[in-house]
Amino acid sequence: MSYFDNFMKANRAYVDLHGTAHLPLKPKTRVAIVTCMDSRLHVAPALGLALGDAHILRNAGGRVTDDVIRSLVISEQQLGTSEIVVLHHTDCGAQTFTNEEFAQQLKRDLAVDVKDRDFLPFEDVEDSVREDMAILKNSPLIPDDIVISGAVYDVDTGRIKVVKES
């Protein structure tokens, strides 16, 4: 039996808890959260969110990329969000490599040349939050009246620490 088969079994139980209430298309809190794909970060309970409360955008490192901005613009302009939270975390996998090292690994393991590709690694988690907040604030696609906040989630304690702009 695969994990997917287990997921389908678990989903049958979830459906009974979910109920049939139709949730609105727009997120209740009007918040979009940009965060990491890390399996140790369970965003909704960490922030007290329920189903339908917020848009949660996840990728490696929780970085603000062109595609994240694309999703945020849709979230804001089409679905009414007015606030963005950048939430990175401690002990992130994006802190374990450099672009150069990773490019060498991919060349060796996959015979693919990606030396000009930025995988957005970082050394300091608070600095990465500040960098991503600055990208959002400087984007012409993110209006000035959108509230932008940043924080770091501690994977060992679950505690979230606010990160102030530089």
Tokens of 72: 């945020």
Tell me how far the alpha carbon of residue 31 is from its chain's centroid.
13
> What CATH number does residue 145 fall under?
3.40.1050.10
Q: Is 116 among the domain residues?
A: yes
Q: Is 130 among the domain residues?
A: yes
Q: Is 147 among the domain residues?
A: yes
For the stretch 121-141, pLDDT in tens is 999 999 999 999 999 999 999
Tokens of 135: 């990208």
Q: Is 5 among the domain residues?
A: no
For the stretch 1-25, pLDDT in tens is 799 999 999 998 888 878 787 889 9
Q: Is 134 among the domain residues?
A: yes
Question: Number of C-alpha atoms within 13 angstroms, CB side, residue 138?
Answer: 9
Residue 84 confidence (pLDDT): 98
Domain range holding 40? 23-163
Q: Is 7 among the domain residues?
A: no
| Domain total in the chain | 1
For the stretch 41-99, pLDDT in tens is 999 999 999 999 999 999 999 999 999 999 999 999 999 999 999 999 999 999 999 99
Q: Is 10 among the domain residues?
A: no
Tokens of 101: 């090292």
Q: Is 63 among the domain residues?
A: yes
